[in-house]
């Protein structure tokens, strides 16, 4: 047992850090290498999923639930990672997903490649701080070069072909490639429906993605309104309501109860009948309040019993019950209605309006959903995704989210760089040339950054079944000779390496975020030189 001591102002010793046998400690290069090993392991797991020919992963939860995906963020979030440095890479992918929505696999592969290069420099005796400074310089050069090699893709509400092509690029490696055009069009149409083009802002809260097992991917559609996974409360209620005026209620259809503890003793038939009459009158008063304000449809957050349901049917007032909080909020936004907490507060001004509210059925089991269309607020959109099983529906949702994020990024900034590793090769060449002009030791770190950039096209070529080093060397020499920075890995074997001809685009802000976030994380990892692990915790 050992401890670190110091003394107080009277010269008496006291313990600052007690290092017991229960603790293990790593310092200096040993600590850095253990961090790099953990990060490289995580990067190698998602590396094979990069690109249009990337492979899928199957993840089985402790409950036996199965997820099949090649989305980097989903893979990492569903992995049980114990190592703290590996968790940082999971957070890195999550940050990219939340901020940009696309490029979650690429950023982890790039961060892993940077750490791999850093390990070689550490073995050569270069101090971690100098490596971090070199990476920082190289990152700035790469980001500046992105602006030089970027192109502006023109688009408008009337001509969305370029947005469609970029969405298609994002979906190239996904399970929905069978319905490539349909999902790309759905992503563009839904985002443009809710976009504020003057502010260059997209509110994804207004886009609801609903999945329903059954049918096939080609049956998926965009519905300009709200889809709720409910049905009308009574089977004899009309299946369609035209010119709907909707009461949106968060109060239950039941008699009011005293807030104190209460007990009701019924000792005779007359008392029971009077109670029944009271309940019936209460229900009828509630229904009268709804009808008096001009409503012809009720959407209620709570349920109601058979008697209330029967009375609603008798008064020809269709109703939908058990509508959840987020859904009821979306209905209120879409129909420009107000959520009403008490029947007495109902008025015609608080009603939501919609052109049609209809019930649709699916398959042989007659599963039902409610569709609210032609709403007062046209900016509310629902995408209904169909698929043969739950795994396909869930993966289609994730794929569509990535495509929608790409379209949103182009609305924010319509500059693009070319994919297929073309932009990484161009930045790698630029960083390598700048490194030759640096006289200090940071030049080694800058060249290492250049090699890490090469890892993306190498991985793309490898995952596509091509010869990685030969492909990279050929592309790099052709880019240098011709100055054509659009040349990338021909993953789909089309015969052309020009990514502009193949319409393989990446939003500029996505690629910039990848470079900056990965560099910041690697700098942070390199500067950790002391790890104290309690034996009771995970190492």
Dist CA 484 CA 267 (whole Å): 93
Task: Determine the Cα–Cα distance for residues 326 and 285; give it in Å rounded to an integer.
Answer: 28
**Euclidean distance between CA atoms 292 and 314, whole angstroms:** 16
DSSP 376-429: SSTT-EEEEEEESSHHHHHHHHHHHHHHHHHHHHHHH--EEEETTTHHHHHHHH
Output the furthest CA–CA distance in the chain (Å, rounded).
102
User: Which entry of 48, 69, 74, 104 is annotated as an active-site residue?
Assistant: 104
Contact (CB, 8 A) for 269 and 276: no
d(CA 456, CA 468): 10
Ramachandran class of 255: left when φ > 0, alpha when ψ lies in -120 to 50, beta otherwise: beta
Residues whose CB is less than 8 angstroms from the CB of residue 84 and which lie 6 or more positions away in sequence, other chains included: 538
Contact 371, 225 (CB under 8 A): yes
Tokens matching residue 437: 């002009």
DSSP class of 24: E
Radius of gyration of the chain (CA): 30
CA angle 126, 132, 135 (to 5 degrees): 105
Q: Which of 74, 105, 382, 459 is catalytic?
A: 105
Taking CA 349 as the corner, what is the angle to CA 348 and CA 355, rounded to the nearest 5 degrees? Answer: 80
The verdict on whether 356 is a catalytic residue reads no
- Which tokens belong to 202? 């997209």
Any catalytic annotation for residue 71? yes
In contact, 145 and 511? CB cutoff 8 Å: no
List 71, 97, 231, 506, catalytic entry: 71
Catalytic one of 402, 454, 490, 506 = 402
260 given a catalytic annotation: no
**Helices 128-149, 508-526: crossing angle, 10 deg rounding:** 180
- Closest C-alpha to 378, from 201, 247, 207: 207
- Four-point Cα dihedral 346, 320, 401, 72, nearest 10: 120
How far, in Å, are 207, 213, 332 from residue 223 at the CA level? 10, 17, 17
Q: Is 4 helix (H, G, I), strand (E, B) or coil?
A: strand
CA distance 331 to 297: 13
Catalytic residue list? 71, 104-105, 402
């Amino acid at each position: 047992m050992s401890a670190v001591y110091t003394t107080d102002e009277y010269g008496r010793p006291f313990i600052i850090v007690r290092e017991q046998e229960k603790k293990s400690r790593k310092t200096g290069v040993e600590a850095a290498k253990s961090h790099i090993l953990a990060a490289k392991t995580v990067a190698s797991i998602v590396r094979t999923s990069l690109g249009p020919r990337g492979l899928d992963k199957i993840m089985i939860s402790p409950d036996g639930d199965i997820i099949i995906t090649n989305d980097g963020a989903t893979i990492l979030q569903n992995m049980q990672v114990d190592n703290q440095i590996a968790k940082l890479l999971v957070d890195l992918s999550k940050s990219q997903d939340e901020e940009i929505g696309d490029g979650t696999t690429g950023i982890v592969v790039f961060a892993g490649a940077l750490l791999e290069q850093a390990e070689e420099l550490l073995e050569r005796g270069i101090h971690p701080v100098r490596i971090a400074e070199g990476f920082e310089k190289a990152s700035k050069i790469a980001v500046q070069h992105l602006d030089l090699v970027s192109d502006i893709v023109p688009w408008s509400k009337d001509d969305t072909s370029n947005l469609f092509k970029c969405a298609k690029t994002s979906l190239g490696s996904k399970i929905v490639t069978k319905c490539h055009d349909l999902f790309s069009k759905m992503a563009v149409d839904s985002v443009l429906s809710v976009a504020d083009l003057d502010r260059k802002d997209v509110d994804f809260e207004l886009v609801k993605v609903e999945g329903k097992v059954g049918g096939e991917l080609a049956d998926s559609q965009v519905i300009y309104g709200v889809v709720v996974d409910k049905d009308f409360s009574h089977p004899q209620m009309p299946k369609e309501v035209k010119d709907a005026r909707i009461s949106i209620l968060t109060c239950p259809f039941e008699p009011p109860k005293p807030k104190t503890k209460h007990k009701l003793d019924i000792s005779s038939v007359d008392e029971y009948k009077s109670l029944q009459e009271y309940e019936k009158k209460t229900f009828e008063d509630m229904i009268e309040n709804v009808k008096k304000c001009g409503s012809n449809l009720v959407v209620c957050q709570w349920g109601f019993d058979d008697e209330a349901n029967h009375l609603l049917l008798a008064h020809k007032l269709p109703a939908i019950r058990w509508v959840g909080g987020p859904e009821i909020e979306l209905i209120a936004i879409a129909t420009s209605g107000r959520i009403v907490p008490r029947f007495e507060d109902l008025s015609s001004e608080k009603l939501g309006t919609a052109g049609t509210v209809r019930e649709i059925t699916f398959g042989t089991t007659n599963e039902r959903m409610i569709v609210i269309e032609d709403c007062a607020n046209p900016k509310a959109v629902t995408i209904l995704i169909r698929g043969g099983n739950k795994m396909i529906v869930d993966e289609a949702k994730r794929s569509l989210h990535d495509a929608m994020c790409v379209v949103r990024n182009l609305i924010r900034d319509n500059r693009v760089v070319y994919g297929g590793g073309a932009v990484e090769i161009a930045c790698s060449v630029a960083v390598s040339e700048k490194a030759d002009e640096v006289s200090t030791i940071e030049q080694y770190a800058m060249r290492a950054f250049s090699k890490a950039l090469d890892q993306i096209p190498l991985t793309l070529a490898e995952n596509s079944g091509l010869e990685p080093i030969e492909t990279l060397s050929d592309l790099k020499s052709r880019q240098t000779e011709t100055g054509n920075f659009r040349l990338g890995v021909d993953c789909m074997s089309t015969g052309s390496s020009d990514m502009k001809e193949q319409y393989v685009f990446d939003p500029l802000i996505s690629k910039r975020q990848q470079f900056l976030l990965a560099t910041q994380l690697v700098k942070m990892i390199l500067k950790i030189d002391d790890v104290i692990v309690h034996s009771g915790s995970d190492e």
